[in-house]
Amino acid sequence: MKCSSLEEVRANIDRIDDSIIRLIAERTEYVRQAAGFKKSEDAVKAPDRVDAVIAKVREKAQQYGAPPDIAETVWRNMISGFIDLEMKDYISK
């Protein structure tokens, strides 16, 4: 993982970003499916599920050597966006 130039560092960051975006797109499909199974707006918001996901993310971040606070911030923002998307899908069904 040791890079010999800033350009190499940036190329690897771009490669990782591409993978992350692909995975977000895949996650989006599952979130949209989840809306179809939920029976209420409270089920869409699911604060207990959010807390469980955040706990798991923090644990995995620590396991992989990533800063847990950064991972939590990223996931909370991502979850918030997905809840907004899921609410739109839930309301329109």
Mean pLDDT value of segment 33-58: 94
Element (H, E) at 23: helix 6-37
Average pLDDT, the chain: 95
Residues 73 and 81: their CA atoms lie apart, in Å, by 12
Lookup result for tokens 């560092």: 9
User: What are the residue ranges spanned by the domains of the chain?
Assistant: 6-92
Mean pLDDT value of segment 54-82: 98
User: What share of the chain has pLDDT > 70, as a percent?
Assistant: 99
6-92 belongs to CATH 3.60.21.10: no
Lookup result for tokens 């809306």: 35
29: confidence class by pLDDT, cuts 50, 70, 90: very high
Written as six digits, the tokens of 28 are 């989006």
Written as six digits, the tokens of 49 are 């599920």
Amino acid at 64: Y
Angstrom distances, CA of residue 68 to CA of 19, 35, 44, 76: 20, 28, 25, 12
Indicate the pTM of the whole model. 0.87
Written as six digits, the tokens of 42 are 């409270």
89: confidence class by pLDDT, cuts 50, 70, 90: confident
